[in-house]
A and B are shown apart, each in its own frame.
Chain A
Amino acid sequence: MATMKHTLVAIVQDKPGVLNRMASLFRRRGFNIESIAVGHSEVAYLSRVTIIVNGSNAMVEQVRKQLDKLIDVVRVSDITGDNITVRELALVKVKATSQARGEIIEIADIFRANIVDVASDSLTIEITGDEDKIESMLKLLKGFGIKEIARTGRVAMVRGTLGGVPGEVKTAGKRVKKQS
């Protein structure tokens, strides 16, 4: 079966162990996580997890359903086919002799990346974009010698008015908060 990268977005309770439960499920069912990014959502007690998983439609649908069964997972959707905005952030430390520095800064400018640190023999560049953009810049920087890369993994959001935490969940969650 044809496999492709799927983008899953999960809204989960901000409780200890939630990520462990999700990761354990991926491991148990034999799914490979390409990247996972976790952070707060627009609701204080809910986190948003963006997971990139490579697999066939049927396989990814199975993992989505299994994730949805976790009690702490409020909602999970596969937004691969939707009209989405996708971003990833990378920090790249490049070897930069004084001669090469100008050229590297020029490349960074083309990609609208920022220089966030300068040392005597290196430059650190911060770049935001989709994976293709980051890969293209890395390709150009490779010749200078890349010392270190840190990438966040993909975060994604559906364009337009759709998406976000459903209203009933926001209020239900609030009641839970009050009780504890």
Chain B
Amino acid sequence: MKKTGAQIICESMIAEGVGVMFGFPGGVLLPFYDTLPQYPQIRHILVRHEQGAAHAADGYARATGKVGVCMATSGPGATNLVTGIANAYLDSVPMVAMTGQVARSFIGKDAFQEIDITGITLPITKHSYIAKDAGSLAGIIKEAFYLARTGRPGPVLIDLPKDVQTEQADYTYPEKVELPGYKVPTRGHPTQLKNAAKLINEAKRPLIIAGRGVIISRASDELKQLAETGQIPIITTLLGIGSFPENHVLSYGMAGMHGTGCANKAIDSTDLLIAVGMRFDDRVTGKIAGFAPNAKIIHVDLDPAEIGKNVGVNVPIVGDVKAVLQALNKMVETGEHIDWIKQLDEWLKQHPLGDVNDSAGLLPQYIIHQLYEATKGDAITVTGVGQHQMWAAQYYLHKEPGSFITSGGLGTMGFGLPAAMGAKVGCPDKTVWCIDGDGSLQMTIQELATLVQDNIAVKIAVLNNGYLGMVRQWQDLFYEKRYVATPISCPDFVKVAEAYRIPGLRVTRREDVTGAIEQAMAYDGPFLIDFMVEPEENVFPMVPPGASNIEFIEQPKKEVSTWPR
């Protein structure tokens, strides 16, 4: 049966199980948007800026494990998606981004709002397509979704010329894809698995470091089994948070630049580092030469290009994390490691995170702790990028995969609010807290309007310190307190929220924190709390840039400062 290109796009999305998309219309997308009401199965959420659409699709994908879908018009609409696509690429998030394009006869003529978006996004997409005719659309969409969600997930872009959307073509949705150049490794190599099991069984001080690959592969149960059977302590990367319950007795927190002292000491003394679904990012390894100096390394990853890229490994295992862990669990013997675990517990005591009750002032860490208490650790927390992000990672104990959503690889300020929006749309029954900084929030604050128009009940906690806090912290520690371009004036966020018809509260005192959080949670709809926190609080521990993990700096003794404004 003949259908228009726009109809084929909609039907193909429905065939892929797409129930929601985040988009912003424009001239060349008019045929698509004109067709969309024929398909009420697809909920379209109108964002206020295309970057918000990409981050929302990203947040949706991380919270649900499904492919997030975003759409923008040609030219500036498409370029506004770029940051969001790059963010998804670096954190391996399944996403299909669709962009409008000028009609085929105008392509290459510098037409109005024409941009070479497939060219621009070449290095930040897993793959991309330009639909040259309506007949190719179904196959392209099938492939795009398949590529986005399988293997190492990532964003796939489809460019849709205006006249392809109106062109008629026969429509049947293909049942399978033929991609001879695309290989997805499944189980690990049997010899390497055997080698790994042998090392694990022989290790005296084994340590697991879990990354986002565990979450992508839904392998948390298998990870838990490995840890419990072998009695192997677990630390995570920033993006691995949630892959293993942080209140578990074998959990020793996050490693790396702002990781726990215990985790970084453990890396330094382990004799066998079992790296699962992580990629040895520089924020995790610190100075490579000083990374895990006493350890053999087993590296399990789906992407062969990650093996040996940054760190040399003894046992490489290319395969799906879940399948590899299942195989390992059959070979790993019951372990004990009593002394090693005792040692780690001792380090935990020696190097605790800063005390949330350490100050009479309003400590950001205290707020995160109270959020954790109030939500019983069951909320999805979504962050922007900066100090608040690290405090959220440190002080909120996440238990479930997908419960901590943050921009790791790209470090995108402004990610928080739109990503929280996407997470809430994907998980409407969950409490979603956007923990944001005053700097980060101002980058995408326009999405407050989207929350209202589509009634998305995200709760927002702004840790407002009047600075671009993380940059200020580096200036404080490494640039002799020369605070250049980091003091940032903010609007009255409560009034801003009110203007968007979102209720809000300002909290300046410690004793008002819990009441405000309760009020926000009791309210049926989006809610904003502006926490005026200690302005010059720093994130500790911290591994100075260029140093080894073991050289972490701890929280100095506190002088109580007073709120200056």
Contacts and interface: CB of A to CB of B under 8 A. Distances in A.
Contact of B127 (A71, A175, A176): A71
A62 B309 contact: yes
Given A66-B305, A69-B305, A71-B126, A180 B136 contact: yes
A33 interface: no
Nearest to A29: B123
Interface residues of B, number: 21
A45 to B, nearest CB: 10
Contact of A20 (B122, B180, B304, B308): B122
Contacts of B127: 71
Contacts of B308: 58, 61-62
B510 to A, nearest CB: 48
B181 A70 contact: yes
Given A12-B181, A176-B180, A179-B139, A71 B118 contact: no
Interface in B91-132: 118-119, 122-123, 126-127
B304 A169 contact: no
Interface in A97-112: none
A35 B136 CA distance: 35
Given A62-B305, A65-B305, A179-B174, A73 B122 contact: no
Contacts of B147: 71
B289 interface: no
Interface residues of A, number: 29
A72 interface: yes
Given A24-B123, A179-B139, A179-B174, A169 B180 contact: yes
Contacts of B182: 71
A73 B136 contact: no
Contact of A71 (B119, B136, B179): B179
Interface residues of A, dominant DSSP: helix
B178 A176 contact: yes
Interface in B59-74: none
A139 interface: no
Nearest to A174: B178
B178 A172 contact: yes
Given A62-B305, A66-B305, A73 B123 contact: no
Nearest to A67: B305
Interface in A1-46: 12-13, 17, 20-21, 24-25, 28
Interface string B127-145: 1000000001001000000
Interface of A: 12-13, 17, 20-21, 24-25, 28, 58, 61-62, 65-66, 68-75, 168-169, 172-173, 175-176, 179-180
Interface of B: 118-119, 122-123, 126-127, 136, 139, 147, 174, 178-183, 303-305, 308-309
Closest 9 CB pairs of A and B: A65-B305, A74-B181, A172-B180, A176-B178, A71-B127, A169-B180, A24-B122, A28-B123, A73-B181
18 contacts: A13-B180, A17-B118, A28-B123, A58-B308, A62-B305, A68-B304, A68-B305, A69-B305, A70-B181, A71-B126, A71-B127, A71-B147, A71-B182, A169-B180, A172-B180, A173-B178, A173-B180, A179-B178
